[in-house]
Chain A
């Protein structure tokens, strides 16, 4: 009986889902008009970190590609913006386009060697590639060696404009993940997330799926890198290609919940708020964040979203496929 009820049960989620999404959109779109600069800046950071968290999660949470080199795309994005706006003196928005293109090309180039590395070797490989890129930029005169660039266009932008740029990047990241997971490709990704070997035997082409995720993740992380450095207004190699970026992404995904869309949203909120609270303990802030992440892994390995999902089965973006008992009856009739 209980089983039948489960099937008959009307999906109560769409209502909650649509109301939640509508409230979130209204709040986020109107925020610059009622929130002060501080609040707007905090949300700007949350949106940008959410975007990079989603992209790391696409790799680590779904495709099983645990990367420690995603900072390469942040740096490439930041430098693309700097070169377009500071060197070429072109409209800075073209820097975003270049960020995505350069990141995809770089991802494609490194995919051949690093995709031949398995598990921990892949992780180390991605990190080494990012480090090598950092060293290369330190010795490249065209990008001012270790001095880097002041991104002066940032000074002409107000908090509101910066907020909406971050909002745009976050929407692109979120839409990309939602559309992927709602597609046929997404079904394969979720299967890969749950059991890579079994997904392959069911017909999922692992290499191709992973490569697609890697390229999408690179493009959007590059975009986010451009946004992050537009906000920071200064870039140099040791900062642009710092592993701290990827550590943040991992923290966001782990705290929020790996392998879920909602996880990086929650994770980004927690991360940015914690970072603000720990601002005065700069020497210890990463240590404290690390301890929090470890405790979270031990207590709730599926993150905050995992806990919510376990309690309520809540799925904000409706990527779960469901079937109704009437569908089976229709089959029988036919």
Chain B
């Protein structure tokens, strides 16, 4: 299996505080890599760097064989990196359909007519077809999360970055999200999934990376990671998950 993403010695500091010191990992094609870590471990910062929102101080991000560290946000989207945000960022005054449509039009650089077909496919995948004409701002949390995933999928990404898409949901809703993620994986999309609900990571990922103190402390299968004493040490020291 070939790595679609390789991250080498990635680091960033804010005002002298090293949030990420030296992070190294890879994601294989079609693989789901879960990322866990205590509050402030830099998980979202890592996704922000990969998606281009933040600039790393050092390191390399090799995506599809190319170092993308200097690429713009939109260039990375066009190359095939899609992402969700921890707090869903919908286009509130646009309908659910328009949210996906705009994301397809700009993400895939296609005409609105061509985008309409793809938008409908995505709405079906994230089970929002019945809410298609509703304003996104009026959706409840589970549907906002669905929309967020749908919008991230709209650019037809090869790598999808999920930032706590199951956070704040009921068990039944978490399972719905899990099913959607499995379907996306089934389509061959590689995924990096930050989540705090351990059970979700256990069920939905191929490998889990433990991020703490600005470093990748451990990366292994979910079962092996859970058995590791490092996980206990890290979480015993942490006050509370974010």
A contacts, CB < 8 Å to B: 3-4, 6-7, 184, 187-188, 190-191, 193-195, 197-205, 259, 320-323, 325, 327-328, 331-332
Q: How far is the CB of A329 from chain B (nearest CB, A)?
A: 10
Q: B4 near A: Cβ within 8 Å? A: no
Which of chain A's residues has its CB closest to B133's CB?
A: A322
| A190 adjacent to B90 (CB under 8 Å) | no
A195 to B133, CA, bound (A): 19
A188 to B121, CA, bound (A): 20
A198 to B91, CA, bound (A): 8
| B101 adjacent to A198 (CB under 8 Å) | no
Quick one: which of B3-25 are within 8 Å of A by CB?
none
Q: B29 near A: Cβ within 8 Å? A: no
| A3 adjacent to B130 (CB under 8 Å) | yes
Q: Which residues of B contact A331 (CB under 8 A)?
A: 117, 120-121, 124
A330 to B73, CA, bound (A): 35
Q: B111 near A: Cβ within 8 Å? A: yes
Q: What are the 10 A-B residue pairs with the smallest beta carbon separation, nearest first? A: A203-B106, A194-B91, A198-B89, A3-B130, A202-B103, A187-B102, A203-B107, A191-B102, A203-B77, A323-B97
Q: Which residues of A contact B92 (CB under 8 A)?
A: 194-195
| B94 adjacent to A191 (CB under 8 Å) | yes
Q: Which residues of B contact A321 (CB under 8 A)?
A: 95, 97-98, 101, 112
Q: How far is the CB of A321 from chain B (nearest CB, A)?
A: 5
| A195 adjacent to B91 (CB under 8 Å) | yes
| A201 adjacent to B83 (CB under 8 Å) | yes
| A202 adjacent to B93 (CB under 8 Å) | no
| B154 adjacent to A328 (CB under 8 Å) | no
| A203 adjacent to B121 (CB under 8 Å) | no
Q: B70 near A: Cβ within 8 Å? A: no
Q: Given A198-B91, A323-B133, A331-B120, does the pair A190, B102 have CB atoms closer than 8 Å?
A: yes
Q: Which residues of B contact A184 (CB under 8 A)?
A: 105, 111-112
Q: Given A203-B77, A322-B133, A323-B133, does the pair A194, B103 have CB atoms closer than 8 Å?
A: no
Quick one: which of B66-118 are within 8 Å of A by CB?
73-74, 77-78, 83, 85, 89-95, 97-99, 101-103, 105-109, 111-112, 116-117
| A323 adjacent to B132 (CB under 8 Å) | yes
A51 to B228, CA, bound (A): 67
| B105 adjacent to A188 (CB under 8 Å) | yes
Which of chain A's residues has its CB closest to B119's CB?
A: A323
| B93 adjacent to A205 (CB under 8 Å) | no
Q: A201-B51, A203-B109, A321-B97 are in contact. List 8 more A-B contacts (CB 8 A).
A: A6-B131, A187-B112, A188-B106, A203-B74, A321-B98, A322-B133, A323-B116, A328-B123
| A3 adjacent to B101 (CB under 8 Å) | no
| A202 adjacent to B130 (CB under 8 Å) | no
A320 to B134, CA, bound (A): 11
